[in-house]
Structure 1
Amino acid sequence: MRPLVVLGDALLDVDLDGSSDRICPDAPVPVVDLTRTWRRPGGAGLAALLAARSTADVVLVAPLGGDQDGRILAGLLAREVGVVPMPLRGTTVTKTRVRAAGQSLVRLDDGDGRAEHSPLSREVEDTLRSAGAILVADYGRGVTGHPGVRKLLTELAPAIPVVWDPHPRGAEPVAGVRLATPNLAEAAHFTETRSDPEELAKRTHALWSAEAVSVTTGADGAVLTDGDRCTTFRPPAGVVAKDTCGAGDRFASAVAAALLDGSSTDEAVAKGVDAAARFVATGGAATLSTSDTVAVQKTEYHGVSAFEVAARVRQEGGRLVATGGCFDLLHPGHASLLRQARALGDALVVCLNSDESVRGLKGPGRPIVTARDRARLLTELSSVDAVAIFDEPDPAAILDRLRPDVWVKGGDYADAELPESAVVHRHGGEIVLIPTIRGYSTSRLVAAAEGA
């Protein structure tokens, strides 16, 4: 399958977490004692990482700077997606949130970087021409106004799906895009009207030469129109948002991946609404952040048993994360899940199904790799602090002993579907669901090897 190419303005998002229990003596503002710094790609960079949750081959085309923040951003992106840089004029745009007890107090924006409107490089042009679908993630920093970009997208739009996620400070979509995805505020801005979602969708569609327009409406889902009809897509019942940061990017990236996979526009929007709802319910963009303290703490816990790790983390007032599975034949999907899980706390314990447990779940031909060797491989990863092997069909019993603050599960589950939910919640823990990367599975690797 040809890749999904994300084109747009990449930013660096930083969260400064801390605690606040006093007011500054010389001004009526809270004093925040910082404890941790988290970094993640923002803008089109976030859209690319989220697209990688829906399809295996994702390439980001974006202006990147050579300053320190630009190098950090490039390093974070390169872990999971291909990166094709465009020239950036100015410094990398960085958005920093200061938070206490999970509540944002202030956001600080820095950097003046904009896309340089020089001729497109051969690599950029070849990457866009090789795409099976293109997601334009506009963050108002000049990419969508680039004459060469607009000319090439106009040429490609009739042949491949182009999803255009607009920005009030960006250029309007080129003619022929498959779908434009403004939110309510953006649709009101572009049409200079205030109205209900259906009317805004119709007016936006009349304004642009897009095949269809989908106006996202937050907790109410999205309204899709092709000019003749309007359809409303609602999120799953009972889904509660924990953090809405990145919801629009998750919607647009899931839609683009679905179109790449051959879905109709209606099917793609339905999948996008579902993916965005699950994303905000499991922590939003914060689940993609990387903490500065990970490497130091990995060294501290190396070689210590899972239960010793758990005890030490609790003693130090830290946050213990656990995840589980068979991990038979490690692949990039596993590595991505483990990295994201480790970024959620101060130590990660993997609850590993024993050989007997795997046979009960997967059949007599599994596991391919013994529990002892699977554990060895996992502990060699920088994201894993310890491994605990269990014999039961599910990890509820071992979680009762570990009592993690966070239990991470890969895949499209709901809390109610997990047999271990009750024990995690009983000890005051929370469950974070991280969608797996499509295209990677042990079963698929085994089938490919047998067919070779």
Structure 2
Amino acid sequence: MSAASSYSHLGGQLARATVLVVGDLMLDCYYWGDVRRISPEAPVPVVKVNVGEKTFRLGGAGNVAANLSGLGCTAAVIGLIGEDAASVQLKDLLAAANIQDRCLADAGRPTTTKTRIMAGKQQVVRLDEEDGSGIKAQTQERVLEAVEAMLPDVDALILSDYGKGMFGSIEFIQAIIRSCRRMAVPVFIDPKGRDWNRYAGATCVTPNTAELELAAGTEVRGESDLIPVARDLRRRLGLDWLLVTRGPKGMALFGDDASPVMIAARAREVFDVSGAGDTVIATLAACVATGMRFADAAGVANAAAGIVVGKLGTWAVRWSELEDALMVEMEKRPASTLWKVADVEEASARLSRWRLAEQRIVFTNGCFDLLHPGHVSLLHQARHLGDRLIVGLNTDASIRRLKGEQRPILPGNDRAAILSALEDVDMVVFFDEETPLDLIGQLKPDILVKGADYRIDDVVGKSIVESYGGRVCLVDILKGHSTTAIARKLSANGTKKEEGVNHGHQPGPA
């Protein structure tokens, strides 16, 4: 069995897992704009905020829960919020992300909010609204009661400590860990601060190198320092596992074995490491919740982290993205994306995994002979209507029947290779008939897409898709782009060259 085949059912297993996040909830607010001048009032840049460019995202424990939901898990979160406008916005984001909201209101504290002023891709300043004081004993009891009420229904629990007062009490954290141990629920902790005694007895703690150095009180310059420091800390705290994230150096997983599991980083361009730790602990806990071995779960978490650091700001990983990364990495596929091309049987198997993760399937079709901006625009719009985009592609034989013996210009394998190289395309499936009617009936997409030059009633497959509750969408088309026009221009240029040769414009042999 290949390494990749062991992950083939992971999407479905994640969809059956329930993970509870307890911790410091935050609301991340972004103002997006541009800097074009310096203020006359002080030597600071003036950020002209673009109209409507104010966005909100889940931060802290909320981002951990968002990652779990993005992976397809049932995610629940317990945290403290204020009685303010920010709490309403945060609760709306939790609902939109399909996260079970078990938040507790604390009138004496504001909802922790971080506002970032962005100029292009550069953060100019951050404004923090928070109360980092420790929570009161009465509030601790409310949180502990809420946790214990949920434990019988969860497969793993994550404590997300951002140092905002939630976990200031050792007794409080130890009470949660004891309850998890009693219910045989693995507990994962993203640590904060110098004193880790409050995390003693946890299943796994996931520090980065700087956090490990702070807790150990010593510098970690390389593996020769890392291994003894991490081993000693794991032993002293009675942890089952310690996973150290090391940025571009990857990860190191410490357990009972004599040697740690060293995991190399996934090579990719890094835009922003914000939230990468949230993605790691969410993915690790989710995979362990399905019964996966810790070493394998850490490898999946490493792949997930490699995805989010390539994005700007705090982002939650999606199972569709992670599945693609695992298919490439675990099967050691070459850089080619031709693995996206599937026959109907393989397409049906992939669709089953996507549907287990409750992903919306979009379908469009065409010849896509000489790919041009009009094609790219249509595919981009189609992909953003759902979670996965399947392209039905005419075979060479069906194109000849439709357009004559001079077409296609590019053979099917070339057309499929170009389509599969597009990020918006998740799968390419050939069909040999003149229409994709049979293919649509077999794949049963949720959304069928064609260009706005069609009438909805004329779209092939409309009645099939609507019969099971799907829908047909028409998207805008770019004017002035067509394969036929490109082919005519190429043909005309070729004719001119031939005429030039016939009239003696090409020098003959000496």
TM-score normalised over the length of structure 1: 0.66
Q: Which amino acid aligns with 1:201?
A: A
Which amino acid letter does the alignment assign opposite residue 117 of structure 1? A
| 1:177 partner SS | coil
AA in 2 matched with 1:166: P
Q: Does residue 1:234 correspond to 2:285, yes or no? A: no
Q: Quote the offset at 1:160 in angstroms.
A: 2.0
Aligned residue type for 2:244: V
Task: Return the match for 1:256 from 285, 302, 321.
Answer: 285
> Out of 41, 59, 65, which is 1:26 matched to?
41
Q: Distance in 1 between matches of 2:85 and 2:442?
A: 50
Shift of 1:400: 11
Q: Are residues 1:14 and 2:29 paired?
A: yes
Q: Deviations over 1:342-393 (max 9, x none)?
A: xxxxxx832576888898476862326683476998889xxxxx74399xxx
Distance in structure 2 (CA, Å) of the matches to 1:336 and 1:145:
45
SS in 2 for 1:160: coil
Aligned partner of 2:83 in structure 1 is 66
Structure 2, unpaired ranges of 5+: 1-15, 318-349, 363-379, 384-388, 395-427, 432-438, 449-461, 483-510
**Which aligned pairs between 1:51-450 and structure 2 lie closer than 5 A?**
51-79=68-96, 80-88=98-106, 89-112=108-131, 115-118=135-138, 119-120=141-142, 122-145=145-168, 147-148=171-172, 150-157=174-181, 159-168=184-193, 172-196=197-221, 197-226=226-255, 228-236=258-266, 238-283=267-312, 285-286=314-315, 333-334=358-359, 349-351=381-383, 360=430, 365-367=442-444, 371=448, 372=462, 387-388=474-475
CA deviation string 1:266-301 (max 9, x = no partner): 11111111111112224452579xxxxxxxxxxxxx
Q: CA deviation at 1:248?
A: 0.5
Paired residue secondary structure (2:193):
coil
Bigger shift: 38-47 or 260-269? 260-269
Contact 1:242 1:283 in 2 (8 A): yes
Q: Distance in 2 between matches of 1:284 and 1:399?
A: 35
CA-atom RMSD in angstroms: 3.8
Q: Deviations over 1:203-256 (max 9, x none)?
A: 4324422111111111221111126432211122x3222221110100110000
Give distance in 1, aligned partners of 2:58 and 2:308.
Answer: 16
Q: 1:50 pairs with 38, 50, 67, which one?
A: 67
User: Cα–Cα, structure 1 residues 364 and 3, in superposed 2: closer, same or farther, change >3 Å?
Assistant: same
Deviations 1:32-58 (A, max 9, x none): 101111111100000100111224211
TM-score (normalizing by structure 2): 0.59
Deviations 1:387-422 (A, max 9, x none): 4399xxxxxxx99969xxxxxxxxxxxxxxxxxxxx
Q: 1:30 to 1:259 in 2, by over 3 A?
A: same
Q: Is the 8 A contact 2:188 2:205 kept in 1?
A: yes
Tell me the alpha carbon deviations over residues 102-151 of structure 1, each in whole angstroms, 9 at most, x when there is no partner.
11111111122664432236544211342111111111123334545531
Deviations 1:176-216 (A, max 9, x none): 32210011111111111112333442343244221111111
User: 2:159 and 2:276 mapped to 1: Cα distance?
Assistant: 16
CA displacement 1:42-79 (0-9 Å, x = unmatched): 00000100111224211111112221111111110122
Relative to structure 1, the CA distance from residue 287 to residue 105 in structure 2 (aligned partners, 3 Å threshold; closer, same or farther) is: farther
Check whether the contact 2:279–2:316 (CA below 8 A) recurs between aligned residues.
Answer: no
Q: Is the 8 A contact 1:91 1:111 kept in 2?
A: yes
Instruction: List alignment gaps of at least 5 residues for structure 1.
Output: 289-324, 338-347, 381-385, 391-397, 403-452
Separation of aligned partners in 2, 1:332 and 1:55: 5
Residues 355/367 of structure 1: CA separation in 2 closer, same or farther (3 Å cut)? farther
Give % identity: 25
2:5 maps to: none
The residue type equivalent to 2:382 in the other structure is V
By how many angstroms is 1:172 displaced? 4.3
Residue 326 of structure 1: how far off its partner (Å): 9.5
Deviates more, 1:278-287 or 1:160-169: 278-287
- TM-superposition CA deviations, 1:291-346 (whole Å, max 9, x none): xxxxxxxxxxxxxxxxxxxxxxxxxxxxxxxxxx999x999844799xxxxxxxxx
* Cα distance change on mapping 1:260 and 1:400 into 2, 3 Å: farther
- Quote the Cα distance in structure 1 between the aligned partners of 2:160 and 2:443: 42
8 Å Cα contact 1:154/1:175 also seen in 2:
no
Q: Secondary structure at the match of 2:381?
A: strand
Q: How many residues align?
A: 342
Q: Aligned with 2:314: secondary structure?
A: helix
From the superposition, tell whether residues 375 and 15 of structure 1 become closer, same or farther in structure 2 (CA, over 3 Å): farther
The list of structure 1 runs, each at least 4 consecutive aligned residues, that deviate by more than 6 angstroms after superposition, is 329-332, 354-359, 375-380, 398-402
Contact 2:66 2:316 in 1 (8 A): no
Q: Is the 8 A contact 1:84 1:124 kept in 2?
A: no
| Closer/same/farther in 2, CA of residues 369 and 44 from structure 1, 3 Å limit | closer
